[in-house]
Amino acid sequence: MAVKNRAMLVGSIGAGKSTLTNALLERQVEAVKTQTLIYYDWIVDTPGEYIENPLFYKNIMATALEVTHVLYLQDATRKKTIFPPSFSMGINKLPIGVITKSDSEDADVSLAIAELERVITKGPIVVTSSLKGEGLQEIRDLVKCKSLKEMKTYAEETPSDYIIFK
């Protein structure tokens, strides 16, 4: 039987993980502050504390065992990234970089892409706005891919303004 593809979302407190979860699943509810792991269908929403405090990295590693993809969220309105360089290299799951809040007037999308390119050494980066619904289908499709190669082909063959492959 085929194993269902699942994605874990990681990113700072306030990066937009829970809002993105709702947008991806078309859940019409307010994002609640997550103090713990929340499983919704094919998504695992994590608390921002997991990445803000290196003591919790072990929780990220343990939860990663349950998923096929890890989404690394970078808030476009933040100048810095919370992720250490090459962080995705340490997690043996298919990486997807996600820029959030691209719609914000405070967003610096180019800077956010440059930051994420140092975190995701190889893989797709999707520019999203949960508010406007941009980049969401690209994420849903990428999570259906079974390899980096498949994600690369998808990124190259999809006429989308919101996807980059590095």
Question: Which positions touch ligand GDP (CB under 6 A)?
Answer: 11, 13-19, 31, 48, 100-101, 103-104, 129-131
Q: How far is the CB of 66 from Mg ion (least distance, A)?
A: 18
Nearer to Mg ion (CB atom), residue 21 or residue 88: 21
Distance CA 21, CA 19 (A): 5
Q: How far is the CB of 163 from ligand GDP (least distance, A)?
A: 16
Nearer to ligand GDP (CB atom), residue 68 or residue 102: 102
Binding site for Mg ion (CB under 5 A): 17-18, 34
Nearer to ligand GDP (CB atom), residue 24 or residue 142: 24
Q: How far is the CB of 48 from ligand GDP (least distance, A)?
A: 5
Contact of residue 95 among Mg ion, ligand GDP, none (CB under 5-8 Å per partner type): none
Strands 43-45 and 163-165: what pairing? unpaired
Q: 119, 42, 31: which is closest to 73 by C-alpha? A: 119
Contact criterion met (CB below 8 Å) for 43 and 19? no
Nearer to ligand GDP (CB atom), residue 21 or residue 145: 21
Q: How far is the CB of 72 from ligand GDP (least distance, A)?
A: 12
Return the ∠ at Cα 39 (arms to 151 and 88), rounded to 5°.
40
Strands 43-45 and 94-100: what pairing? unpaired
Torsion of CA 22, 28, 33, 39, to 10 degrees: -50
DSSP H/E element including 142: helix 136-144
Nearer to ligand GDP (CB atom), residue 68 or residue 100: 100
Q: How far is the CB of 156 from ligand GDP (least distance, A)?
A: 26
Contact criterion met (CB below 8 Å) for 9 and 37? no
